[in-house]
């Protein structure tokens, strides 16, 4: 029962964020940092973790580049890519510093 509620909660949050992104731009994003949703890891990524070698399990990958592209003029310290069954389903950007956090927050709010 708890597992079913967790799945319903995750699906509801995912629907909320997709709806939020769609409402803000009028269309859903088709990719994250140049990699299309649902695609397989590219040579630009390196595997940094995952529960096992089972392709049905979740895996985390990182960009191999030392210098990452900025996000709307804000330096990106790290980026992560999440894959399930070998397909991209999520991405994360990491920024350093209070000033960069404030700038990123302002940038995202301005897009709403």
Overall pTM > 0.85: no
pLDDT of residue 56 exceeding 70, the answer is no
pLDDT per residue as tens digits for the range 96-106: 999 999 998 99
Could you tell me if 15 and 43 lie in one domain? no
pLDDT of residue 7: 44
Bigger pLDDT: 25 or 58?
A: 58
Q: What pLDDT shows up at residue 5?
A: 40
Give 18's pLDDT tier (boundaries 50, 70, 90).
low
Specify the pLDDT at position 39: 92
Under the banding of pLDDT at 50, 70 and 90, the label for residue 11 is very low
Range of the domain at 17: 1-29
Are 41 and 57 in contact by the 8 Å Cβ rule? The answer is no
How many distinct structural domains can be found in the chain? 2
Same domain for 50 and 21?
Answer: no
Residues 59 and 9 in one domain: no
Instruction: Answer yes or no: do 37 and 8 share one domain.
Output: no
Do 47 and 17 have their domain in common?
no
Residues 21 and 40 in one domain: no
């Amino acid at each position: 029962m708890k597992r079913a509620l967790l799945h319903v909660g995750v699906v509801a949050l995912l629907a909320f964020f997709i709806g939020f992104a769609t409402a803000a731009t009028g269309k859903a994003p088709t990719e994250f940092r140049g990699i299309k949703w649902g695609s397989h890891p590219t040579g630009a990524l390196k595997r940094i973790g995952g529960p096992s070698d089972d392709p049905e399990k979740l895996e985390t990958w990182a960009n191999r580049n030392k210098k990452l592209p900025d996000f709307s003029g804000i330096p990106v310290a790290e980026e992560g890519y999440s894959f399930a069954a070998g397909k991209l389903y999520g991405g994360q950007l990491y920024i350093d510093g209070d000033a960069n956090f404030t700038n990123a927050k302002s940038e995202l709010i301005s897009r709403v």
